[in-house]
Structure 1
Amino acid sequence: MIRHIVFFSAKRQEDVEAMRAGLTALGTIPHSSLFEVSLNSKVDPLSDEIDVVVYAEFPDEAALAAYKAHPTYAETTATVRPLRELRLSADIVAANDAVQRRD
C-alpha cells in the first residue's frame, strides 16, 4: 500500500476554502482505497503555515499513477495551483510490520 500525503498553503487566507473545495474533486477519481481532504487544525504552532492536507491510500504504484493520469487530476491542478503558495508531497510505502496502537 502507498500512502500519498500532500500539504498545501494558500497564497491568501481567503482562498483556503476554495482550495479545499477544489482538492475535494480529486476524491471522485477512482483508484484510491481511502481519500481525505482536511483543513489543518494548526494545533502544532511549528506547522501552522499548512492550510490543507490531502491524504490518500493506493493499493500499489500503478493505482497511484492511474490516479495522477486521470483528467480530473489535471483539471484540479489547474484550479488549485493559482491559489497555492506551497505544495509538499510524500508517497510512503507502508511497511508490513507497522504497529497499530490502541490505547
Structure 2
Amino acid sequence: MIRHIVFFTAKSDDHLDAICEGLSLLGTIPHSTHFEVSRNSKVDQISNEVDVVVYAEFADSAALAAYKAHPTYAEATRRVRPLRELRLSADFEAK
C-alpha cells in the first residue's frame, strides 16, 4: 500500500474554505482506497505553518499514478494552486 500525504499553506486564511473544497474534488477520483482532506488542528508546540492536509491510500504505485493522471486531479490543481503558498508532498510504501 502507498500512503500519500500532502501539506498546504494558504496565501490567506480567507482561502481556506476554497482550498478544502478544491482538494475535496480529489476524493471523487476512483483510484484511492482511502481519502481525506482536513484542516490542520495546529496544536503542535514547534510548528503550525501547515493549514490543510490531504491523506490518501492507494493499493500500489500504479493506482497512485492513475490518480495523478486523472482529469479531476488537474482540475483540483487548477483551482487550488492560485490560493496556496506552499505544497509539500510525500508518497511512501506502508509496512
Q: Shorter-chain TM-score: what band? A: over 0.9
**Paired residues for 1:74-93 under 5 Å:** 74-93=74-93
Post-superposition shift, 1:45? 3.7
Moved over 4 A (4+): none
The runs of 5 or more residues in structure 1 that have no matched partner are 96-103
Larger radius of gyration, structure 1 or 2? Answer: 1
- Quote the RMSD (CA, aligned, Å): 0.7
| Residue matched to 2:12 | 12
Query: Percent identity, aligned pairs only?
Result: 72
Post-superposition shift, 1:48? 1.2
The runs of 5 or more residues in structure 2 that have no matched partner are none
1:4-36 deviation line (CA, Å, top 9, x unaligned)? 000000001110111011100100001100000
1:37-62 deviation line (CA, Å, top 9, x unaligned)? 00000010423110000000000000
| Residue matched to 2:62 | 62
Instruction: Provide the secondary structure at the position in 2 that maps to 1:46.
Output: coil
Q: Residue type matched to 1:77 in 2?
A: T
Q: Residue type matched to 2:32 in 1?
A: S
